[in-house]
Structure 1
Amino acid sequence: MFKPLTLLSRALAFAVPVALGALAAVNADQLKQPPAGAERAPQPTVVRVVTLAPVPVVPRVSGFGTVAAARDWRGVARIEGEVVATAPELANGALAAEGTELLRLDDTDLRLTLAQIAAQMAALTVKDQTLGESRAIAEADLELSRQELTRQEKLVAEGVATQAKLEVTRRAELTARAKLTEVDNQIALNGAERAVLAAQKDVAERALAFTVLRAPYDLRVGEVSAEVGQVVTKGQVLVTGEGVEAVEIAAQFPIGRIGPLLRATGGMVTDLKARVRLPAPGHSVVWKASVDRVAEALDARTQSTAVVVRVDDPLGQAEAGQRPPLRRNTFVEVVLMAPEQQALIAPVDAVRNGRALVVKDGVLEVRKVAVAYVIGDVAVLSDGLAAGDQLVVTDPAIAVPGMAVKPAEDKALTALLAAQALGQPAKGAKK
């Protein structure tokens, strides 16, 4: 009775493990997959930032103009005459020191005129001596005539002399007085003639001085239009030149860019420092300059004003192979600079339409920003941001307000901005 049950139990004990093994083999691939886990959070986007901090800034603005001499000179013939001598310095481009005799005109006629005047004045001196002696005689004769007249008048009063005798004495006194007057008149005429001759002498001597043309100051000779043997006329330009003690550049500056610069410093245009730059291969040539004056009117087309800067001793500032002397018509850049100050700065591209992005607690945030002025690629900030703010400098197409980000400090850009704010090349950057 119990034998069938025993057999069934044994059969089940064998069949169940076999069935489970077969099921496991069929579902082996499915058992390899791991169990589903929880969703992963997205990684924050990395954005480049610069941490704002006050840095030294030299407010400046650039303009452009051409070099001109501070003083131009034209040597004009003041008299007519033939050129009899010229100096080696009388050549285009030559340097002539102050007082150098550049050319000389024939002075023979003027010297003959002076000799003639001297002879006439000597003759007048002899006449004056003669007239002096004649006057002494005439004066003595008049005195005797007056004494005789007095005696005759007394005799007539006493009844001793006749009236006819008195009249004769009076006529003699009048004749003596007329002779003295004649001598005095001749002396006066001689004095007038002497004054005329003196004036003629001054004219001749002045003309004689004009026979020599000298450099009025240290100059560089320009165009020369006179040579030996040439007869020049009064008023003819013989030579041109320009002073070498200084040059000037009338550079044009947009009035809107100078205004903020002055407001930042509280000064006048003439209080600003100036530098003149000439771009050269591999480096920039720089000259020290000073602001001399500001033009009276604005340019109607460009709304810019001309600021005239002066470079003293351009020849003395020259260095062979490094800094050539400034020459007329050279096109240069003029930089006006205010005193150094501390300010927050940012790349111009990081501030758009008065707004900028900053990283705040790992999230992008929009800030309204005010820019005081711009120096090249550097914006000098006046409001909206503070020291310690992390300003985003990544392309705005990547940075979206409100998104989670991870700031990465751009130290190279920070160094470049600081250098540009001072007008200096960044360390390691190519000039």
Structure 2
Amino acid sequence: MITGTVALLVRVLFRLAAVGLPIAVAVGLVFWSGSLKSGPAPVERSAAQRPVRVLTVAPMPFIAQVSGYGAVKPAREWRAIARIEGEIVETSESLANGSFVAEGALLLRIDDTDIRLSLAQIDARSAALDVRDGTLRASRDLADREYRLAAADLDRQRGLLAQGTISQTAVEQAERAELAAQSKLTEIGNQLALNAAEREILAAERASAARSLGFSEIRAPFDVLIAEVSADLGQVVTRSQLLFAADGTDRVEIAAQVPIGRMGPLIRLAGGGEPGAALSATVVMSQLGHEVRWPAEIARISEAIDARTQSVEVIVTVDGPLAQAVPGQRPPLRRGMFVEVRLAGPEVSALVVPAAAVWGREALVVTGDGRLARRTVTVGFQAGGLAVIRDGLAAGDRLVVSDPAVAVPGMKVQPVEDEELAASIRRRALGQAGE
């Protein structure tokens, strides 16, 4: 009896377990899912404490800069062209590629024997003309006396004819004598005039020969560096033949290509006016990990725009490129060097921020209650990783300079001022090194 009762109790408990266990599991799942639904609350509390780097926007001194690149070439070039024919009879030791030649130094001389012979011939012809003129003047004096005598005799014969003393034939003979004397005098005068004209021709020929004689010596018109030599001692050259080429050393120029999209904002930021008037220029060359700089001047800005690159040509000059050279530190600027040209405007006060903190026309700021907010901004100038904000931000705004993992407007964040970045921006805003 007891055994049957126990067996019955076991069966009842087994049935209760079979029914209750699923119910218990279901209840547990319900409580567990409830805990999942309440899970985001701690996540939100964690996100509210997410730190983001910010930069407090404030006006600062700013010098706008843009860069362009171009090749160095001398401001003055000299191509020595032969202006006479002849053999090269003398050359200077300085007539070699890369040699420096001072102004006025003799570089090359062409044989001038033929020119000197021409001068001697002209002088001889001029001397002969002088002798001939002397003879003609003496003959003219005699002819003048003969003419006066013939004219007086004709007057006398005409008087006698009027008195009836002589015949008409005698008067006609006197007239012929007077005409012959006059013709001789005129002929001598014409010959003297022809001699004067020939003397002018000889003077012109002599001036031309003397000028050609000056072309026999080739001297440096200014301080130059020899760039190319095409003639040598003993060579016979002809007119218009290139002898050598040289570059002036007093000044070089660089035609830098600057994007027109940056040049316009730079000029506007500089206050407008005449393009380039308020801008300064610096030529920069990177060498062995450091920059070598030369102060430059803006000579002119081309009106033409390159259709392919959308750039404008800005020509700058550097005075005394050789005089500024320092061995081991600053090389001389020479033809063909590819350099950077930095154009800078005057110092202005502006809101300067990292360009990376602006996406298109939007930026993130942290509001007063510590939440993220989007701002629509207008960039007035951008270069070198910096952007000048023209509209959309004000002094005191906390600009987000780091990219938060979740950038949801209204999200609570913990702003952390990036002092190191702020100091770097202040330096870079003035064009100083260090980023």
User: What is the TM-score with the length of structure 1 in the denominator?
Assistant: 0.87
State the match for 1:97 in structure 2.
102
Which residue identity does 2:275 align to in structure 1?
Answer: V
Residues in 2 aligned to 1:243 and 1:94: alpha-carbon distance in whole angstroms: 12
Single out whichever of 78-87 and 290-299 deviates more from structure 2.
290-299
**CA displacement at 1:396 relative to structure 2:** 3.3
Aligned: 1:395 with 2:395: no
Aligned: 1:352 with 2:359: yes
Which residue identity does 2:57 align to in structure 1?
Answer: L
Q: What aligned pairs does 1:200-239 form with structure 2 within 5 A after superposition?
A: 200-239=205-244
Selected match of 2:275 from 269, 277, 285:
269
Residues in 2 aligned to 1:308 and 1:194: alpha-carbon distance in whole angstroms: 53
Secondary structure (helix, strand or coil) at the match of 1:269 reads coil
Task: Report if the CA contact (8 A) 2:107-2:220 is conserved.
Answer: yes
Residues in 2 aligned to 1:244 and 1:337: alpha-carbon distance in whole angstroms: 26
Task: Report if the CA contact (8 A) 1:218-1:245 is conserved.
Answer: yes
Aligned: 1:46 with 2:51: yes
Single out whichever of 250-259 and 400-409 deviates more from structure 2.
400-409
Task: Report if the CA contact (8 A) 2:68-2:258 is conserved.
Answer: yes
Unaligned runs of 5+ in 1: 1-38
Task: Report if the CA contact (8 A) 1:276-1:332 is conserved.
Answer: yes
Size of the alignment, in residue pairs? 389
Task: Report if the CA contact (8 A) 1:52-1:386 is conserved.
Answer: yes
**CA displacement at 1:314 relative to structure 2:** 0.9
Selected match of 1:363 from 363, 371, 391:
371
Which residue identity does 1:221 align to in structure 2?
Answer: I
**CA displacement at 1:320 relative to structure 2:** 2.2
Residues in 1 aligned to 2:325 and 2:421: alpha-carbon distance in whole angstroms: 35
Secondary structure (helix, strand or coil) at the match of 1:220 reads strand
Secondary structure (helix, strand or coil) at the match of 1:134 reads helix
Aligned: 1:144 with 2:149: yes
Residues in 2 aligned to 1:422 and 1:241: alpha-carbon distance in whole angstroms: 40
* Structure 1 runs (4+) greater than 6 angstroms displaced: none
State the match for 2:414 in structure 1.
406
Selected match of 1:340 from 314, 336, 347:
347
Unaligned runs of 5+ in 2: 1-40
Single out whichever of 266-275 and 225-234 deviates more from structure 2.
266-275
Task: Report if the CA contact (8 A) 2:231-2:244 is conserved.
Answer: yes
Task: Report if the CA contact (8 A) 1:47-1:399 is conserved.
Answer: no
State the match for 2:310 in structure 1.
303
Task: Report if the CA contact (8 A) 2:52-2:404 is conserved.
Answer: no
State the match for 2:16 in structure 1.
none
Selected match of 1:112 from 117, 132, 136:
117
State the match for 1:13 in structure 2.
none
State the match for 1:17 in structure 2.
none
**CA displacement at 1:399 relative to structure 2:** 4.4
C-alpha deviations, 1:341-381, integer Å up to 9, x for none? 11001111111121111121222221111111112111111
Residues in 2 aligned to 1:191 and 1:141: alpha-carbon distance in whole angstroms: 25
Aligned: 1:253 with 2:281: no
Residues in 1 aligned to 2:264 and 2:233: alpha-carbon distance in whole angstroms: 56
**CA displacement at 1:398 relative to structure 2:** 4.6
State the match for 1:81 in structure 2.
86
Task: Report if the CA contact (8 A) 2:365-2:374 is conserved.
Answer: yes
Aligned: 1:416 with 2:408: no
**Amino-acid identity (%):** 53
State the match for 2:190 in structure 1.
185
State the match for 2:160 in structure 1.
155
Residues in 2 aligned to 1:270 and 1:344: alpha-carbon distance in whole angstroms: 24
RMSD (CA atoms): 1.7
State the match for 2:382 in structure 1.
374
Residues in 2 aligned to 1:237 and 1:270: alpha-carbon distance in whole angstroms: 38
Aligned: 1:279 with 2:261: no
Single out whichever of 58-67 and 40-49 deviates more from structure 2.
40-49
**CA displacement at 1:264 relative to structure 2:** 1.4
Which residue identity does 1:169 align to in structure 2?
Answer: A
Secondary structure (helix, strand or coil) at the match of 2:335 reads coil
